């Protein structure tokens, strides 16, 4: 494969991590990441990405300014690009029709305009890496082709020998779908050892050529049998349904956890028993306070929107129930804290262990901790929050309707538990499994409680020390 100039629009976690891995595996190609955020680009160039991801910095040092470059110069970077990735945000709409369920594609549109304006290669291959609604590739194709058509027609007014020659070299445009399946906290590992790589494109001569070009890039480290071709619609839908199915498993086991609490079963035993069936498998069967993050809910909302667009209302209702169960689980967990503590949290200090939506990330977007903490604050509690990676400013911006004296951000577990009535575990950080519960108990107000939203605290040890412990999916009276 001849040397390629690969450009990625968007320097967030998807764009940044993807291109770092590409650059580390494909030394003969040059990779450029472009973003309008100057501070973000400055951070990358100083080995300080604006988010935490295990293994990222170590890998970045092997390729930055060698065959990997970060810049804000769209024009000069795009003009001779051979492959162009779209890795910008696609948040849920906050206004207008389909508010709260549809996808805001304004960043995608801005990228399309830049590609149309600055990309000068005769063969323009655009690759969707962002998670987008089904049909977005066709919308991008239509936009770029229309722009190219108008540009060609405008040239006719000043036609000369040069433009006549250019007419013979009409720009070819194709848009591929190549969804990401990385998970925050394991993004580098996911990219280095993918379960599969999906490449969707049109069934045309140039479409097949473009798919092959992208495949050759991945073959630098991915076994060919893990690279799948399909049509664009199938690939776009596969991304949404993959996340929807994972979220569905979480909500399913959480629904079972509620039954366990009432009848005396233990959800960890039920999960193990079910998961030993190879038809079911054990992954994503850990009961918890609920799923979070920026992907699961957004992708299910995309799926709901698609179903309703095609009048598949029963199907839409099914997927809505996955989100409803997740919201119910978070509220049920939070209410149990209040109910257990005399239905009175006014001015009671409660220690929150973990605020990110999962371990090994600093991302708090959509975290279950947000809903739980907002409920506790609304009941008048004072929250003492410790998370090893979440930025204090992001914690404060995520919460609402509280007085300043209700929120304390701490730098350690030992400081967070002083004069606290309860420990509430909301993120499964490894260090929380190693907490010295005896020392915590000595610093707390008695009776002392543990509400374990991730089932990582040893119940018997906690009870022996003197704690009253509530774990998701365990009998309330044991």
Q: Which residues does the annotation mark as catalytic?
A: 295
**DSSP-assigned states of every residue in 428-478:** --GGGGG--HHHHHHHS-SS-EEEESSS-S-HHHHHHHT-EEEETTS-TT-
d(CA 434, CA 411): 16
Q: Contact at 8 Å (CB) between 84 and 119?
A: yes
Q: What tokens appear for 180 in the block?
A: 């990401």
Q: Contact at 8 Å (CB) between 419 and 444?
A: yes
The residue behind tokens 């910095």 is 57
- In the chain, the N- to C-terminal Cα span, in Å, equals 63
d(CA 253, CA 280): 12
Tell me the CA distances in angstroms from 307 to 135, 159, 301, 324, 326, one per residue in order. 13, 49, 10, 17, 20
DSSP-derived pairing of the beta strands 227-230 and 407-409: unpaired
My answer on whether omega of the bond before 447 falls inside 30° of 0, hence cis, is yes
Helix (H, G, I), strand (E, B) or coil at 176: strand
The burial class, CB within 10 Å (0-12 / 13-18 / 19+), for 233 is middle
Q: What tokens appear for 337 in the block?
A: 């804290």
Q: Which residues pair with 464 in a beta bridge?
A: none
DSSP run (H or E) holding 43: helix 38-45
Q: Contact at 8 Å (CB) between 451 and 423?
A: yes
> Under 8 Å CB-to-CB from 6, ≥6 apart: which residues?
19, 22, 29, 30, 31, 32, 81, 82, 83, 84, 85, 217
Q: Contact at 8 Å (CB) between 177 and 200?
A: yes
Query: Phi and psi of 174, rounded to 5°?
Result: -145, 145
- Read off the DSSP letter of residue 402: -
| Helix axes of 313-340 and 232-263: crossing angle, nearest 10 degrees | 40
């Amino acid at each position: 494969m001849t040397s390629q100039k690969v450009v990625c629009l968007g320097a967030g976690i998807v764009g940044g991590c993807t291109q770092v891995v590409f650059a580390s595996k494909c030394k003969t190609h040059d990779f450029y990441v472009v973003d309008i955020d100057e501070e973000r680009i400055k951070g990358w160039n100083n080995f300080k990405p604006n988010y935490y991801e295990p293994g990222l910095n170590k890998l970045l040092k092997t390729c930055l300014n060698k065959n990997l470059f970060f810049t804000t110069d769209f024009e000069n970077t795009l003009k001779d690009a051979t492959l162009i990735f779209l890795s910008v945000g696609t948040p849920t709409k906050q206004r207008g029709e389909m508010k709260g369920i549809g996808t805001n594609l304004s960043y995608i549109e801005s990228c399309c305009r830049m590609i149309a304006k600055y990309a000068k290669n005769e063969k323009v291959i655009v690759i969707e890496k962002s998670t987008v609604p089904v049909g977005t590739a066709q919308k991008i194709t239509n936009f770029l082709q229309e722009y190219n058509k108008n540009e060609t027609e405008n040239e006719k007014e000043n036609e000369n020998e040069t433009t006549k020659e250019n007419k013979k070299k009409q720009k070819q445009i194709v848009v591929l779908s190549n969804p990401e399946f990385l998970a925050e906290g394991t993004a580098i590992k996911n990219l280095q050892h993918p379960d599969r790589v999906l490449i969707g494109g049109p069934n045309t001569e140039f479409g097949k050529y473009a798919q092959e070009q992208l495949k050759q890039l991945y073959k630098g480290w991915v076994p060919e049998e893990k690279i799948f071709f399909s049509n664009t619609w199938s690939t776009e839908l596969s991304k949404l349904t993959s996340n929807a199915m994972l979220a569905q498993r979480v909500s399913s086991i959480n629904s079972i956890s509620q039954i366990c609490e009432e009848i005396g079963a233990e959800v960890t035993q039920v999960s193990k028993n079910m998961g030993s069936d190879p038809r079911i498998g054990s992954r994503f069967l850990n009961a918890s306070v609920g799923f979070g993050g920026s992907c699961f809910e957004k992708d299910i909302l995309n799926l709901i929107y698609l179903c309703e667009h095609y009048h598949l209302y029963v199907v839409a209702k099914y997927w809505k129930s996955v989100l409803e169960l997740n919201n119910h689980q978070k509220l049920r967990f939070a209410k149990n804290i209040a109910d257990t503590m005399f239905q009175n949290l006014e001015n009671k200090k409660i220690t929150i262990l973990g605020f990110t939506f999962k371990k090994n990330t600093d991302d708090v977007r959509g975290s279950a901790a947000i809903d739980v903490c907002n409920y506790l604050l609304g009941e008048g509690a004072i929250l003492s929050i410790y998370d090893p990676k979440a930025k204090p400013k992001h914690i404060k911006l995520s919460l609402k309707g509280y007085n300043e004296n209700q929120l304390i951000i701490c730098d350690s577990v030992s400081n967070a538990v002083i004069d606290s009535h309860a420990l509430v575990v909301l993120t499964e950080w490894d260090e929380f499994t190693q907490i010295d519960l005896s020392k915590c108990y000595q610093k707390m107000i008695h009776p002392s409680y543990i509400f374990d939203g991730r089932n990582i605290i040893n119940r018997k040890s906690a009870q022996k020390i003197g704690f009253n412990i509530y774990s998701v999916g365990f009998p309330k009276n044991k």
